[in-house]
A and B are shown apart, each in its own frame.
Chain A
Amino acid sequence: MNRKVKFALLAVSAAIAAIGSAPALAQAKKADAQAKEQFFPVLSYRTGVYAPNGVPFANGYVDYLKLVNARDGGINGVKITYEECEFNYATDRGVECYERLKGKGPTGATAFHTLSTGVTFAVTDKTFADKIPIITAGYGRADSADGTVFGWNFPLGGTYWTSSDMLIQHVGKLEGGLDKLKGKKIALVYHDSPYGKEPIALLQERAKNHGYDLLLLPVTHPGVEQKATWLQIRQQRPDYVFLWGWGVMNSTAIKEAVATGYPREKMYGVWWSGAEPDVTPAGDGAKGYNALVFLAPSGQGLVHKDILKHLHDKGQGTGKKEEVGEVLYNRGMTAAMMTVEAVKRAQIKYGKKPLRGEEVRWGLENLAIDNALIKKLGFEGFMRPVSTSCVDHEGGSSSSIHTWDGKRWVVQPGIYEPDMTFIKPMIRASAEKYAAEKKLTRRDCAKEAG
């Protein structure tokens, strides 16, 4: 008994000491890091059910940061430091990571890539006080494209409203015109979370105009159980299936489609449902499956050569060498690139020193990544121009379709642009509602510019 008590006391005191010293250590670090360092927080999920997708993204993101340090010696002489925080794709742990990392480095966190829509929703709330931008490249809340309400959110390159819009345009084109969609049946198989529910509003809005039937089929997390969903598809025989899945849900859906005999050619995934880990588990059955591709298709370009040369050949790379150039790896890499470019942009205004989140926001709001810059950075073919403003935090979105041929993702010809006549009013209304619930006042962009 006595030993037990002693042990417990020891454990408790050790725990208290550890908690107590953590902030102190962080403080000490802060003091000696007045050096020229820009801190990049990295939220990652290398464990859990979504790990197959989380690992390549994190590798690409970290590799690019390492590359900037190794090749260019940092951003104009300001070294990049980073710290990864594993959050297991769980919202509460993601928020904990955000709190843990937001104050690190000499000037605090540069910008967060929140990665899960759930974390995005939870953290958005905190950005107003913390003044740290959050970048949700191709995910997050669609209405956060409105920079006057969501002052700190940047859904760079696309949202779920623009993506679902482009999918509708694509199937409209296949049918020979959007008016031909009348009477057709489109099923949305979605992850039953904010992520999966985001596109519904736009698809319903479009359905009102084009007269197609929208069949909503939720799949509960993590998505390994889809028998009931696909039974409904077998019964209803929709003309198209849109897949809004993540992680194991995607490969399960494709396997179920094979079992149900639903043609994969009629299945279209969002850009998060079209990477190698999604199709390879289904084997040959995945052949013919399509997905949207936005910033980064698979493959290797000039920047990958640099990454291989400066990092992987020297044994400094993150992850396996063979995985460099996968869809999600490239997406992580472009996400890092846009953040670095935003810092570069902000350095023009504020000087070549470590920047605060507020200053980085200016860079993000004045981002101008055009074709020339894309070429210069070695991203040709992996990136489309993005140009943001204080009002428009999305910066334009365009996308094409790629198809899995059994071995590789093949990008189909044709680029789609979202029809903003549908989306703009929806963004406005939704942002308005958010502002009302949160009791926020809109930013006056004209005033800030002047």
Chain B
Amino acid sequence: MFYRENGQFKSTYASDQQMLPILQDRAFMLGLLAFAFVVVPFLASDYLFLSILIPFLILTLAAIGLNLLVGYCGQISIGHAAFMAVGAYAAYNLVLRVPQLNFLVVLVLAGLIAAAVGILFGIPSLRIKGLYLAVATLAAQFFSDWLFARVKWFTNYAHSGSVQTAPLEMLGWKIDSPAEKYVFLLAVLVVFTLIAKNLVRSHIGRAWMAMRDMDVAAEVIGIRPVYAKLTAFAVSSFYCGVAGALWGFVHLGAWEPLAFSLTQSLNLLFMIIIGGMGSLLGSYFGAAFIVVLPILLNQMPGILGVPISTAMISHLEFMIFGALIVFFLIVEPHGLARLWAIGKEKLRLWPFPH
């Protein structure tokens, strides 16, 4: 009842091919965007922006990047924080050495550099697959950890290996208040989500998915594995590179190689597994789950007014978080995005389920 597409006829190819073919979806999406862009900046507190929304937006971008590779092309990577690191340090060096560049240009260049590195580390995927590839991508992680901790040039010979950035400014807009940062990140994320959505609907995306579902069959119908796999690595690393640059410049402001450690890589992987592999929406859900839930659990006793020692809260946080991950994976192995889809389906039939 709530969600029926009855009466919505598609009379042109364009209307058949649009991104959100159902009217309710379009209205909902527009409403959500309007809410996120116009209402949230006035409602949210600094804490909500800085500790929840900003990390959520950036990690969503990274999760989309990883999802393109793992969820759409079927190549497992457990070293994607490395590409975030490449993006962050590339952006840092670009800003430092070519200060006249606009930050958006820096962002794209940082993404391209990360893409180049991604292609390099994607080459093993042409020969190995599955778990073996996962282990090979670990090399990217360890290599970047080593590179940015040891080669002083990348950190501009900082004493302690930690780098810091100036506040962002572009075209006379100084992005320093939390709300401005949020709006900027949201705009970037929307643009990149649109690009990703269109990529996966295009021939490249279909090639990736064919590769994921059965590589031999894909090759037989004329998809070049080299091209499909390496483009997936390139696009995915591009996204992560951009996310890394934003993580460094907008979220942290000062960082050390540890900010892009293996833990971060695993977190990204958890995001897409919990959110839903092969679903852009899933990247959003997964990032929200991983970013918000631990903080929420940590604050729960305080909000409810239950006095528990901080150490105990922290232990409880880990236990409940772990239990919830297991719970969600058992209830819905296809991730939160699948739950969402089921929900939509139910709304469509309600109140007359079969």
Q: Which residues of A contact B (CB under 8 A)?
A: 1-2, 4-5, 8-9, 15, 18-19, 21-23, 25, 44, 46-47, 51, 55, 84-86, 88, 91-92, 95-96, 99-100, 103, 117-118, 121-122, 124-126, 129, 141-143, 192-195, 197-198, 200-201, 218, 221, 430, 434, 437-439
CA distance A55 to B332 in the complex (A): 39
Instruction: Tell me the nearest residue of chain A to B157, going by C-beta.
Output: A433
- Chain B residues, Cβ within 8 Å of A91: 255-256, 258-259
Give per-residue flags for B90-108: 1 if the beta carbon is below 8 A from chain A beta carbons, else 0.
0000001000000000000
Q: Are B166 and A129 in contact (CB under 8 A)?
A: no
Q: Are B311 and A19 in contact (CB under 8 A)?
A: no
Q: Are A8 and B254 in contact (CB under 8 A)?
A: no
Instruction: Tell me the nearest residue of chain B to A220, going by C-beta.
Output: B145
Report the minimum CB–CB distance from B343 to chain A (whole Å). Answer: 5
Interface flag for B46 (CB, 8 Å): yes
Most chain B CB within 10 A, of A15, A86, A218, is at A86
Q: Are B159 and A118 in contact (CB under 8 A)?
A: no
CA distance A181 to B160 in the complex (A): 25
The SS class assigned to the B binding surface is helix
Interface flag for B331 (CB, 8 Å): yes
8 A Cβ contacts from B290-326 to A: 292-293, 295-296, 298-300, 303, 309-311, 313-315
8 A Cβ contacts from B151-185 to A: 156, 159-162, 164-167, 176
Interface flag for B45 (CB, 8 Å): yes
Q: Are B47 and A437 in contact (CB under 8 A)?
A: no
Q: Are B314 and A121 in contact (CB under 8 A)?
A: no
The segment from B15-23, B48-56, B116-124 that touches chain A is B48-56
- Chain B residues, Cβ within 8 Å of A99: 46-47, 50-51
- Chain A residues, Cβ within 8 Å of B258: 91, 118, 193, 221
- Option from B164, B254, B295, B314 in Cβ contact (under 8 Å) with A47: B314
Instruction: Tell me the nearest residue of chain A to B48, going by C-beta.
Output: A23
Question: Which interface class (under 10, 10 to 19, 20 to 34, 35 or more) fits B?
Answer: 35 or more
The SS class assigned to the A binding surface is helix
Report the minimum CB–CB distance from A23 to chain B (whole Å). Answer: 5
Give per-residue flags for B223-251: 1 if the beta carbon is below 8 A from chain A beta carbons, else 0.
00000000000000000000000000000
Given contacts A18-B300, A437-B164, contact A86 B313 (CB under 8 A): yes
- Chain A residues, Cβ within 8 Å of B310: 44, 46, 84-86
Given contacts A5-B342, A192-B149, contact A22 B303 (CB under 8 A): yes
- Option from A8, A103, A121, A221 in Cβ contact (under 8 Å) with B46: A103
Q: Are A103 and B47 in contact (CB under 8 A)?
A: yes
> Which 9 pairs of residues, A with B, have the shortest CB-CB distance?
A46-B311, A194-B160, A125-B253, A86-B314, A197-B160, A86-B310, A84-B310, A201-B159, A47-B314
Report the minimum CB–CB distance from B47 to chain A (whole Å). Answer: 5
